[in-house]
Amino acid sequence: MSELEIWTEKYRPKKLDEVIGQKEIVEKLKAFVKKRNMPHLLFAGPAGTGKTTCAMAIASELFGENWKANFLEMNASDERGIDTIRTKVKDFARTKPIGDVPFKIILLDEADALTSEAQHALRRMMENYTTTCRFILDCNYSSKVILPIQSRCAIFRYKPLSEEDVKKYVKRIAENESLKLDDKVIDAIFNSSEGDLRKVTNILQSCAALDKNITESMVYSVAGIAKPKEIKEILELAINGEIIKAKEKMFDVMLKYGLSGLDIIKLINKNIWEIEIDDKKKIKLIDKIGEYEFRIVEGADEYLQIEALLAQFAAVD
């Protein structure tokens, strides 16, 4: 087990009461556990917001010491074909659970990666084995799960964790691991993570491996993103007509942090609101950002497109 996996297991909540954020969802899940009964569940939302953790916490509270014998976790992006559904899932679902809870639980992680054929096979299985098994599907995009499965599930939509929740989590890890960091570093971790606690843990573990005294620069370097003030400086240079300086600084930032064109586009979009220009100009520039992002996705040269986008900032009127 890697150091990151050890950290993740150490700080992963074991009970629903320990889950960070998602208070409304947790209260509903606790009601299912209390009644020792639940429907099939579909958890949808961004990465690192507690979907898999909630599923494991439900199993732990329902089955106690026997939870691993009554709980099957599968990553649908690895085992996404119809054969897996017809064999591995079916074999587990049709056997009786150990203990006094009348059903087992199957967690299909990243269920939106299942093929259409596998999802249709799963749909029938959810009906046939409902007396001995409950399914929990988690995914980033519920729209990629077929409607017949959605209609068979109680759907819970997870949201990115708040700044307050992330900062509490960071401070708890820092205290337990004897890490030294200040408020600026915590802000940098939050900005880098975008509400993803898995990413927060990854950043902290990587920084701690370098030095117990964590700095803001260290966080941005490990996270692989540029500092907001660097992006803001580039955009201000371009808007003021200093396009050559803006281009040189932009390419320096891309090389320094190893950023792709799409990474830069996202950072520009995130920081454009901090620039002191007229809102109507911002609207025009956001439209251009969308256009150049599409060009890069379609295969255009990213360096050329970033130059062209900076030119649009210089030419905005």
pLDDT over threshold 70, residue 11 = no
Q: Which two tokens stand for residue 215?
A: 């700095």
167 vs 10: which has the higher pLDDT: 167
The answer to whether 138 and 46 have CB atoms below 8 angstroms apart is no
CATH class, range 228-315: mainly alpha
The pLDDT confidence band at residue 119, using thresholds 50, 70 and 90, is: confident
How far is the C-alpha of 25 from the C-alpha of 32, rounded, in Å?
A: 11
| DSSP state for residue 162 in the 8-state scheme | P
What is the domain partition of the chain in residue ranges?
Answer: 3-157, 163-223, 228-315
Give the pLDDT confidence score for residue 6 in this predicted structure: 65
Distance of CA 268 to the CA centre of its chain: 21
Residues 253 and 231: beta-carbon distance below 8 Å? yes
**pLDDT (0 to 100) of residue 76:** 66
Q: What is the C-alpha separation between 63 and 171, in angstroms, rounded?
A: 32
Q: How far apart are CA 264 and CA 20, in angstroms?
A: 30
The tens digit of pLDDT for each residue in 250-308 reads 988 888 888 888 888 988 888 888 888 888 888 888 999 999 999 999 988 998 999 99
Q: Which residues contact 35 (CB under 8 A, 6 or more apart)?
A: none
156-167 pLDDT, tens per residue?
999 888 888 888
What tens digit of pLDDT does each residue of 66-103 get? 788 888 888 766 655 566 667 777 888 888 888 788 88
Cα distance between residue 24 and residue 10, in whole Å:
25
Q: Does pTM surpass 0.75?
A: yes
Per-residue pLDDT of 171-219, as tens digits, reads 888 888 888 888 888 888 888 887 788 888 888 888 888 888 888 888 8
Cα separations (Å) of 282 from 13, 60, 153, 278?
Answer: 42, 50, 42, 7
Q: What is the reported pLDDT for 7?
A: 60
Among 316, 296, 302, residue whose Cα is nearest residue 250: 302
Whether residue 57 contacts residue 13, with contact meaning beta carbons closer than 8 Å, is answered with yes
Confidence of residue 108 (pLDDT cuts 50, 70, 90): confident
Buried b (16+ CB within 10 A) or exposed e, 154-175: eebebebbeeebbbebbeebbe
Instruction: Please tell me which residue, 105 or 276, carries the higher pLDDT value.
Output: 105
**C-alpha atoms less than 13 angstroms from C-alpha of 94 in its C-beta half-sphere:** 10
163-223: which CATH architecture?
A: Orthogonal Bundle (1.10)
Domain 163-223 matches domain 228-315 at the CATH topology level: no
Q: What average pLDDT does this structure show over 305-315? A: 89
Q: Provide the mean pLDDT of the chain.
A: 84
Q: Which residue has the tokens 């599409």?
A: 294
Question: Which tokens belong to 221?
Answer: 């370097």
From CA 150, how far away is CA 276, in angstroms rounded?
45
CA nearest 317: which of 285, 295, 275, 269?
285
What is the average per-residue pLDDT within 1-24? 72
Question: From CA 52, how far away is CA 56, in angstroms rounded?
Answer: 6
pLDDT value of position 80:
56
| Domain formed by 3-157, architecture | 3-Layer(aba) Sandwich (3.40)
